[in-house]
A and B are shown apart, each in its own frame.
Chain A
Amino acid sequence: MRADPADYRLVSPGNLQAVLSLMAAEPAQWLPIAGGTDVMVLYSAGKLANRKLINIWNIQELRQIEVFPESMRIGAACTYTALREHEVVAREFPLLATAASWTGGIANQNRGTLGGNIANASPAADSLPALLVYDAELTLISERGERCVAYRTFHTGYKQTALAPDELIRSISLPRRFSGYFSHARKVGARNAQAISKVCLAGLGQIAGGAIRDVRLALGSVAPVPLRLSETEHMLVGKQIEPSLMEIVKKRVTQEISPIDDIRSTARYRTAVAANLVAECMEKLAAAGAKA
């Protein structure tokens, strides 16, 4: 344990308004801590620069999951376990439920939160590609009020987000229009559980009349931010899925991504696997389309 608890303040205002007030009074001073599965690791390693933390684990407004006819709204402090156990998430947003089951072991799923994962903004985070393909929308809140941003625009650079210094993520909204989609997710890590991803794919697709009507692909760990493969998607729409197309798709994927070498893996490996995962996803989409 390489940090001195005496050097850190952790305040618990207890309700959302009080949290936002403090954050407005001292912008960028207070680091929100929910389940702590990222913050506490840094802290224990002696690498947490922020000395002032504000507890949002106990803020009930942030822990609700609300289901409306057209959308679902997930409170930012909902845990991965809560997501996995929610009937509508499991049924209509399987990519998110699956990603939640990949994020650490059960103990960490019981504490880790979706909002925390988003705000931590690691490009390797497992749930972020799912949010990209589900066209998630974030509600950000401060004392000044609420605003909605398309999740696609939220990550502005490596570990940079659109959050203002006095803002919290309040909720994540997902439109309920993907039930009829084929969905496929795959994570590649150093082992089957408790692994930071080397590459992570979330994919949705629809086939009509033998051709791709809609396809949505997002990857983690291949760029400074979680990446929606817009160019690859654009190229795929309207096409029939066949072997010759797969080679073209792989090439397009490799051009659209920019992975790096790091302590876990290499850029070359990530590039190859990312392309392979997309091709595999397309093959499964084709097989599902053929059955439909």
Chain B
Amino acid sequence: MPRKEGWDKVTGAARYVDDMVLPGMIYGATVRSNVPRGKIRKITFDRSIAWDEYFIVTAKDIPGKNCIALILEDQPCLAAETVNHAEEPVLLLAHADRHKLRKAVEAVEIEYQPLPSVHSIEESEQKSAIIWGADNILKSYLVQKGDVDAVWKEAAHIVEGEYFTGAQEQLYIENNGVIAAFDAANGLTVWGSLQCPYYVHKALMALCALPEQRVRVVQMETGGAFGGKEEYPSMIAGHAALLAIKSGRPVKIVYDRMEDMVATTKRHPSRTRHRTAVSKDGKILGGEIEFTIDGGAYATLSSVVLSRGTIHAGGPYFWPSVRIRTKAVATNTPPHSAFRGFGAPQSLFAMERHMDRIAQVVGISPVEIRRRNFLKQGQTTTTEQTIREKLDLHALLDRALELSDYHAKKERFAEENKKGMRKKGIGIAAFLHGAGFTGSGERYLNSLVGVEAGADGCARVLVSSAEFGQGTNTVLCQIAAEALALPYENVAIAQPDTTVVPNSGPTVASRTAMIVGKLVQSAARGIKETLAKSGLLGREYTAEQFRTACAEYISKHETLKSYARYEAPADVYWDDEKYRGEAYAAFAWAVYVAEITVDLTTYSVTVDDFVAVQEIGKVLHPVLAAGQITGGVAQAIGFALYEKVVWQNGRMINNQMTNYIMPTSADLPPIRVFFEELGNVHGAHGAKGIGELPMDGPAPAIVNAVEDAIGVRFCSIPLLPEDLFEALKSFEWDAPSSVRGAA
């Protein structure tokens, strides 16, 4: 099936937000704070600018509630009295001339009375300054299974480890952007680069004090998202909306790269501490896992990121007992939020590094330690969810080892590494990723999906699920086409517009093919049933017969639409208080193998080959599925080896593509992708989620490989050549004193 919107994309016809111009449109920009925390004392507008030419919006202009409605309501749309992070929006300007606008932004001076600020997990925990709530803790969870306190005395080994991951920028190639227009007749309309039209819709209602039917949100073609456009668009949309309301003109706000990188959300930095009781033959008896993430200055989605990180912290292993204590803490940084994987890449990095550590202590191989602890069908996870689906991690592992030639290479490398400046290593990671919203989340989302048929016998899918490269349009049309027995070409999908499509939930959590796809299937079947019940269509039919039936039905009933609403599977039960039960309707499982070279001349790590084996239920579209894996692996290689956010006083200072380093085509290995299909009951045709899975495995596989190559145990990513150099300390020289001083 060709990509549904593919032709527009390859011809340059696809319309992204910045490609759109409305009559009378003006431009908006944001004046932001330059201190990490402080009280706003004075705002000065430099006299060199003709301010009467500009529209100015401050917190006072907000018609509704000055907050970005999401989970909590702690994040203001515009700072009123206090700022809690650098680059926090304080006021908004609009002007018809983009260049004059830029000059005006630079001509606003804000004076602050600085307040003590907090810039790391440790500083936040020390509570030298309380910057959020009563204790800087945005959220915490406790998972307990079995009897952890009893395991220590039985343990032959107690293995400890501490693991860190850094912030990561989503770096979608299209920056955030929106256009907002407001008039008394139609209300507010916002067009944007976004993942979740209904999140923006909800936020705008509250901000602008407008009822549901007077707010319309439309998703434009979106140039990459990866979670960075899950909730952030509510902020930029809110800003454009306020300017549109004040000015009476359509307002476009599009960030440039420097602003997008410095001011918008990133992946949560994390710290994980493991303490594990292990038997003599390498079986996990139990343990304690402490997982902490840095949420930045406001809560945004930290509670949900924390949730997923918590539930995945134990990896694909059987834990007879475990205590998992997790928390998200506040710091004076721009809030961290959703990024592909959403907490799981962080806690799984720790788990998979820790497994290699356990292997060392016990004296067995990284392969063997995993075999002895893999979850089996019928066992329970850390949250006591019984694995009911068919699961064979051993088979995945076997296949990955074979495809990567793991054993032969490990032996060969050990021999070849005795000489020369290039050391090779090979490492593995085994992991899982739960698809859909956690526990009762999908029930809460209560997704609704529609399919419409026209008199021309063509069908149209009505969902709020966004396409941003991952294949939403193609897969959902494919599912509808199959359900309706129509050619793929006869099925279209409506542009997500809240006045046209129902709320099928946000485009996140790897839920679209699985949850929404299933509903599309049901809704499509509903069209057939309606026609059948009217006596217009038999069980088997041609496209032409379908067309005739639709034409006739519509001539009598005006429209032909069918809706399907989410129904929670009866056997999925989750206890939100004890954080226990069926966390996800389905898990995808994977084993990845990374082959690397460490160059001791430059201390750099290159990934030479990468094997990705996963079980994701039914592969609905092989080309799209492979693309998700290769793209996710590439981002994760960046997470492991290249992408470092350099912070200074709570602000990202390497906020340009020249110095925030993502891999180019010259940096990535061949990424070899393989799927196992064992089937699954919950998704359409047995599909499970796939989008985020590939983010979880590569980083630990790579760092495991580095340890294999040079015997140095790194526990923190990104792992840069400078870090390798410092750890190796193999360079002995008399440095000039100016250099010796710099550490």
Taking the nearest CB of chain B, how far is it from the CB of A228, in angstroms? 18
Interface size class of A (residues with CB under 8 A): 35 or more
For A268, give its contact among B642, B656, B659, B726 (CB under 8 Å): B726
Nearest opposing residue in chain B for A283, CB measure: B421
Q: How far is the CA of A255 from the CA of B603 in the complex (A)?
A: 21
Taking the nearest CB of chain A, how far is it from the CB of B174, in angstroms? 15
Whether the Cβ atoms of B739 and A4 lie closer than 8 Å is no
| Residues of B contacting A280 in the complex (Cβ-Cβ under 8 angstroms) | 421, 601
For A250, give its contact among B99, B733, B738, B743 (CB under 8 Å): B733
Whether the Cβ atoms of B602 and A263 lie closer than 8 Å is no
Whether the Cβ atoms of B98 and A263 lie closer than 8 Å is no
Whether the Cβ atoms of B661 and A190 lie closer than 8 Å is yes
| Residues of A contacting B601 in the complex (Cβ-Cβ under 8 angstroms) | 273, 276-277, 280
Taking the nearest CB of chain B, how far is it from the CB of A44, in angstroms? 8
For B733, give its contact among A6, A251, A263 (CB under 8 Å): A251
Whether the Cβ atoms of A4 and B733 lie closer than 8 Å is no
Taking the nearest CB of chain A, how far is it from the CB of B702, in angstroms? 15
For A272, give its contact among B103, B664, B725, B743 (CB under 8 Å): B725
- B604 contacts A by Cβ under 8 Å: yes
Q: How far is the CA of A196 from the CA of B657 in the complex (A)?
A: 11
- B666 contacts A by Cβ under 8 Å: yes
Contact string against A for B residues 95-115, beta-carbon threshold 8 Å, 1 for contact and 0 otherwise: 000111011000000000000
- B735 contacts A by Cβ under 8 Å: yes
Contact string against A for B residues 681-692, beta-carbon threshold 8 Å, 1 for contact and 0 otherwise: 000000000000
Whether the Cβ atoms of A268 and B658 lie closer than 8 Å is no
| Residues of A contacting B667 in the complex (Cβ-Cβ under 8 angstroms) | 191-193
Taking the nearest CB of chain A, how far is it from the CB of B167, in angstroms? 16
| Residues of A contacting B256 in the complex (Cβ-Cβ under 8 angstroms) | 1-2
- With A1-B98, A5-B99, A276-B602 already in contact, the answer to whether A258 and B654 are too (CB < 8 A) is no
For B734, give its contact among A4, A193, A251 (CB under 8 Å): A251
Taking the nearest CB of chain A, how far is it from the CB of B420, in angstroms? 11
Taking the nearest CB of chain A, how far is it from the CB of B738, in angstroms? 6
Nearest opposing residue in chain A for B663, CB measure: A191
Q: How far is the CA of A269 from the CA of B642 in the complex (A)?
A: 16
Taking the nearest CB of chain B, how far is it from the CB of A231, in angstroms? 13
Q: How far is the CA of A192 from the CA of B662 in the complex (A)?
A: 11
Taking the nearest CB of chain B, how far is it from the CB of A107, in angstroms? 13
Interface residues in A186-212 (C-beta closer than 8 Å to B): 188, 190-196
- A46 contacts B by Cβ under 8 Å: yes
Whether the Cβ atoms of B642 and A191 lie closer than 8 Å is yes
| Residues of A contacting B658 in the complex (Cβ-Cβ under 8 angstroms) | 41, 196
Nearest opposing residue in chain B for A253, CB measure: B733
Contact string against A for B residues 275-301, beta-carbon threshold 8 Å, 1 for contact and 0 otherwise: 000000000000000000000000000
Whether the Cβ atoms of B659 and A264 lie closer than 8 Å is yes
- B209 contacts A by Cβ under 8 Å: no
| Residues of B contacting A75 in the complex (Cβ-Cβ under 8 angstroms) | none
- With A4-B102, A45-B258, A268-B725 already in contact, the answer to whether A273 and B603 are too (CB < 8 A) is yes
Whether the Cβ atoms of A254 and B739 lie closer than 8 Å is yes
- A259 contacts B by Cβ under 8 Å: yes
Whether the Cβ atoms of A4 and B642 lie closer than 8 Å is no
- B665 contacts A by Cβ under 8 Å: yes
Taking the nearest CB of chain A, how far is it from the CB of B323, in angstroms? 40
| Residues of A contacting B735 in the complex (Cβ-Cβ under 8 angstroms) | 254, 268, 271
Binding site secondary structure of chain B = loop
- B646 contacts A by Cβ under 8 Å: yes
- With A2-B256, A280-B601 already in contact, the answer to whether A263 and B653 are too (CB < 8 A) is yes
Whether the Cβ atoms of A269 and B665 lie closer than 8 Å is no
Whether the Cβ atoms of B739 and A267 lie closer than 8 Å is yes
Nearest opposing residue in chain B for A280, CB measure: B601
Nearest opposing residue in chain A for B97, CB measure: A4
- A174 contacts B by Cβ under 8 Å: no
Whether the Cβ atoms of B742 and A255 lie closer than 8 Å is no
- B133 contacts A by Cβ under 8 Å: no
Taking the nearest CB of chain A, how far is it from the CB of B721, in angstroms? 7
Interface residues in B621-656 (C-beta closer than 8 Å to A): 642, 646, 653-654, 656
Nearest opposing residue in chain B for A46, CB measure: B102
- With A251-B733, A277-B601 already in contact, the answer to whether A268 and B102 are too (CB < 8 A) is no
Q: How far is the CA of A264 from the CA of B656 in the complex (A)?
A: 12
| Residues of A contacting B98 in the complex (Cβ-Cβ under 8 angstroms) | 1
Q: How far is the CA of A195 from the CA of B654 in the complex (A)?
A: 14
Nearest opposing residue in chain A for B642, CB measure: A191
- A265 contacts B by Cβ under 8 Å: yes
Contact string against B for A residues 241-266, beta-carbon threshold 8 Å, 1 for contact and 0 otherwise: 00000000011001100110101111
Whether the Cβ atoms of A269 and B664 lie closer than 8 Å is no
Nearest opposing residue in chain A for B259, CB measure: A2
For A194, give its contact among B653, B664, B739 (CB under 8 Å): B664
Contact string against A for B residues 578-614, beta-carbon threshold 8 Å, 1 for contact and 0 otherwise: 0000000000000000000000111110000000000
Taking the nearest CB of chain B, how far is it from the CB of A135, in angstroms? 27
| Residues of A contacting B656 in the complex (Cβ-Cβ under 8 angstroms) | 45
- B577 contacts A by Cβ under 8 Å: no
Taking the nearest CB of chain A, how far is it from the CB of B584, in angstroms? 36
| Residues of B contacting A132 in the complex (Cβ-Cβ under 8 angstroms) | none
- B722 contacts A by Cβ under 8 Å: yes
Nearest opposing residue in chain B for A195, CB measure: B661
| Residues of A contacting B731 in the complex (Cβ-Cβ under 8 angstroms) | 272, 275-276
Please indicate which of the listed interface residues B421, B653, B667, B733 has the most CB atoms of chain A within 10 Å of its own CB. B733
Q: How far is the CA of A234 from the CA of B350 in the complex (A)?
A: 51
| Residues of A contacting B725 in the complex (Cβ-Cβ under 8 angstroms) | 268-269, 272-273
| Residues of B contacting A276 in the complex (Cβ-Cβ under 8 angstroms) | 600-602, 731
| Residues of A contacting B646 in the complex (Cβ-Cβ under 8 angstroms) | 263
- B736 contacts A by Cβ under 8 Å: yes
For B736, give its contact among A41, A258, A277 (CB under 8 Å): A258
Contact string against B for A residues 77-108, beta-carbon threshold 8 Å, 1 for contact and 0 otherwise: 00000000000000000000000000001000
Q: How far is the CA of A268 from the CA of B99 in the complex (A)?
A: 43
Nearest opposing residue in chain A for B103, CB measure: A4
Q: How far is the CA of A254 from the CA of B734 in the complex (A)?
A: 8
Taking the nearest CB of chain A, how far is it from the CB of B489, in angstroms? 37
Whether the Cβ atoms of B654 and A263 lie closer than 8 Å is yes
- With A6-B99, A191-B642, A193-B664 already in contact, the answer to whether A266 and B733 are too (CB < 8 A) is no
| Residues of B contacting A5 in the complex (Cβ-Cβ under 8 angstroms) | 99
| Residues of A contacting B726 in the complex (Cβ-Cβ under 8 angstroms) | 268-269
Please indicate which of the listed interface residues B100, B601, B721, B739 has the most CB atoms of chain A within 10 Å of its own CB. B739
| Residues of A contacting B659 in the complex (Cβ-Cβ under 8 angstroms) | 190, 196, 263-264
Whether the Cβ atoms of A254 and B664 lie closer than 8 Å is no
Taking the nearest CB of chain A, how far is it from the CB of B727, in angstroms? 12
Whether the Cβ atoms of A193 and B666 lie closer than 8 Å is yes
Taking the nearest CB of chain A, how far is it from the CB of B646, in angstroms? 6
Nearest opposing residue in chain A for B258, CB measure: A45
Whether the Cβ atoms of B258 and A261 lie closer than 8 Å is no
Taking the nearest CB of chain B, how far is it from the CB of A8, in angstroms? 11
Please list the 10 inter-chain residue pairs (A to B) with the smallest Cβ-Cβ separation, ordered nearest first. A4-B99, A193-B666, A192-B666, A190-B661, A272-B731, A276-B601, A269-B722, A193-B664, A267-B742, A188-B602
Give 13 A-B pairs besides A261-B742, A267-B738 with Cβ atoms closer than 8 angstroms: A1-B256, A41-B658, A193-B664, A251-B733, A251-B734, A254-B735, A258-B738, A263-B646, A268-B735, A268-B742, A269-B726, A273-B721, A280-B601
What are 17 A-B contacts defined by CB distance under 8 Å?
A1-B98, A1-B256, A45-B258, A188-B721, A251-B733, A254-B739, A258-B738, A263-B654, A264-B659, A267-B738, A267-B742, A268-B742, A268-B743, A271-B733, A272-B733, A276-B602, A276-B731
